[in-house]
A and B are shown apart, each in its own frame.
Chain A
Amino acid sequence: MREILILGRGGQGAQTAGNLLARAFFEQGSFVQTFATYGGARRGTPVTASLRVDDQPIRQRSNIEHASAMLCFDESLLEPGFLGFARPDTVIVVNTHKPASAFAGLGDYQFFPIDGRSIAQRNDMGKVVNSALLGAFAAKLDQLDIDIVCNVIQDTAPAKKDQNVAACRDAYAMVRNQDAGGQQ
């Protein structure tokens, strides 16, 4: 079973990203379970979306304690509390304009920085970064078809469908061949 965490702040779209990713795995034929928890229930407070993917029905109903991959919407969330859910081999895609070297002091994780804001802006998405981040994350998740992710975005985006898909593909292409640590 694969266990994935998406960290964000209320209003950024972490819960939506979790739902879209779950839908993509579901469309591929996997069993999925995704749920979001939000302590503050208001904008700006931390939100965690949890996603389990398996080839058989998922029965566990508990928090994810060890994620194989994490997507972080806001670099300020990368503190020991959240990093405690990662292991050394955990892929962490983080929304930031900084290089991966800026995160080296946090521990021996596989960081993939992605500047979601600039990708969103050049694809006419303004401040809405979740389709770009989803594309970047999809690039580092095994056995996930980017075309299916884009179809899900096309089907579910409430507005700017083509721009959302373009941002997703743009970020996917940027991260696809990036090595861990952010070296091109």
Chain B
Amino acid sequence: MNLMNRKNMQLLSGNHAVSWAARLCRPDVAPLYPITPQTPILEKITEFHAEGLMKTELLTPESEHSAMAACISASLTGARVFTATSSQGLLLQHELLHYATGARAAIVMCNVNRTPASPWGFWPDQLDSLSQRDTGWVQFYSESPQESLDSVIMAFAIAESVGVPTMVCHDAFYVSHSMEPVEIPDQAMVDDFLPKFDPARKLDTAVGASFGAPLDQNTWRRSRMDLAESLAAVTDETIRVGEAWGKLTGRSYGPLERYRCDDAEMVIVTMGSMCGTVRDAVDTMRENGKRVGLLKVRQFRPLPASMLRDALAGVPVVMVLDRNYSPGTGGILHQELKAVLSGMADGPKVHGLLAGIGGANVSSETIDRWVRDYQNAEPKPESQWVE
């Protein structure tokens, strides 16, 4: 890639790349509440708005909880809705995240992954969004500012076609505050890619119908079965949308990415910013004759179970790097991956490493050392603290 030939290339942080994506998607409503390290997303959107470059109705309510309440109501009127938060803000929204999914509100949110208190911190750690794994929100984990921009645009396509809220997560600092060359897609191309949101059912004062009425047991159960059916369609939709975006931009995405996994004796599985460092480590190890690959989990919810089994069939050893610690359980990706791979005849040995918790630094040299430490070890059921 030659930077000089890319006319739409700008130097942007991950957060500002997300603001650009929001601008290109032309949301009707954006309720936002600031929180470190998400605030630059909000700031850039308000700048765009003040300059007349975004026609969005911006709402700045008194908390993240109220912001999400506004997102749900706006979305159910048929508005395209964008919001962004992080850590404590996302945790405050928890009850409404469940509500949004049940109400089938096709909201798109960016969450900047940051340590939840206590103790206080601003560091990259994915526990905030991973602990929303049971809310039904579709979750993507992004590795770079460019991927965050692309993912927000694709998230609108997926959320609005399937009818489920969708979260794009990127790590504090390593992505959110990392300024890099980012290609900004052409507005007309995004307009074609993302037609106007027009759901079949919406709140309308001329129509005597509402959302969220109390249901009897069997109808409530049926609503969950409907939700399950929609979520089951997400993985195919991620593939379809990711390929379509690839045809337009040259950047394709899917639920998973296999990087140099062919003939690998060990595959490292991780999510978010650490994937980039693992790529470097894999290239160095391959140069030294070590058969190591990376499996990047981009879509964590719904978990693409069959794809994960296919991707890891025949791989002797898997090393999961979790940048999260679920107290009392261990690494969440480790836990989920073991469940998905359970019962496979040719399934791998699975090591779970608690790597870079609280933003502790993980360099490619460290990854190389962990590969040497674990390639011949017998896996333990518990995730292991490493540094």
Binding site for B on A (CB under 8 A): 19, 22-23, 26, 29-39, 41, 56-63, 65
Contacts and interface: CB of A to CB of B under 8 A. Distances in A.
A7 B54 CA distance: 36
Interface centre among A23, A36, A41, A59 (most CB of B within 10 A): A59
A19 B179 CA distance: 8
Interface in B255-276: 273-274, 276
Contact of B364 (A31, A39, A57, A60): A60
Interface stretch (B88-96, B132-140, B170-178): B170-178
B11 A31 contact: no
A54 to B, nearest CB: 11
B150 interface: no
A65 B361 CA distance: 9
Contacts of A33: 178-180
Interface residues of B, number: 29
Contacts, number: 70
Contacts of A56: 1
B253 to A, nearest CB: 16
Contacts of A37: 173, 177
B11 A63 contact: no
Given A60-B277, A61-B171, 19 more contacts: A19-B179, A22-B179, A26-B3, A26-B11, A29-B3, A31-B3, A31-B181, A34-B178, A34-B180, A35-B177, A36-B177, A37-B173, A38-B122, A41-B122, A57-B1, A61-B144, A61-B277, A62-B174, A62-B364
Nearest to B273: A61
Interface in B16-39: 36
A57 B2 CA distance: 10
B77 to A, nearest CB: 37
A65 B363 contact: yes
A31 B280 CA distance: 16
Contacts of B177: 35-37
Contacts of B174: 35, 61-62
Given A60-B280, A62-B363, A65-B363, A26 B181 contact: yes
A32 B13 CA distance: 11
A102 B277 CA distance: 38
B207 interface: no
B319 to A, nearest CB: 17
Contact of B11 (A23, A36, A58): A23
Contacts of B144: 61
B362 interface: yes
Contacts of B4: 29
A62 B367 CA distance: 11
Contacts of B276: 59-61
The 4 closest A-B CB pairs, nearest first, are A59-B276, A61-B273, A61-B174, A35-B178
Interface of B: 1-4, 11, 13, 36, 122, 143-144, 171, 173-175, 177-181, 273-274, 276-277, 279-280, 361-364
Contact of A63 (B3, B171, B180, B363): B363
A59 B361 contact: no
A33 B276 CA distance: 12
A59 B178 contact: no
Nearest to A34: B179
A19 B279 CA distance: 25
Contacts of A22: 11, 179
Contact of A61 (B11, B122, B143): B143
A63 B171 CA distance: 14
Nearest to A33: B180
Contacts of A23: 11
A166 to B, nearest CB: 25
B11 A32 contact: yes
Most B CB within 10 A of own CB, among A31, A32, A37, A41: A37
B178 A61 contact: yes
22 contacts: A23-B11, A26-B3, A26-B11, A29-B2, A31-B180, A32-B11, A32-B179, A32-B181, A35-B13, A36-B177, A38-B122, A41-B36, A58-B180, A59-B279, A60-B364, A61-B144, A61-B174, A61-B274, A61-B277, A62-B174, A62-B361, A63-B363
A160 B195 CA distance: 45
Contacts of A38: 122
Contacts of A29: 2-4
Contacts of A61: 143-144, 171, 174-175, 178, 273-274, 276-277
Residue among B11, B13, B363 with the highest chain A CB neighbour number at 10 A: B11
A63 B364 CA distance: 11
A62 B123 CA distance: 12
A181 B173 CA distance: 34
B279 to A, nearest CB: 5
Contact of B277 (A30, A35, A41, A59): A59
Nearest to B281: A60
Contacts of B11: 22-23, 26, 32
Contacts of A59: 276-277, 279-280
Contacts of B3: 26, 29-31
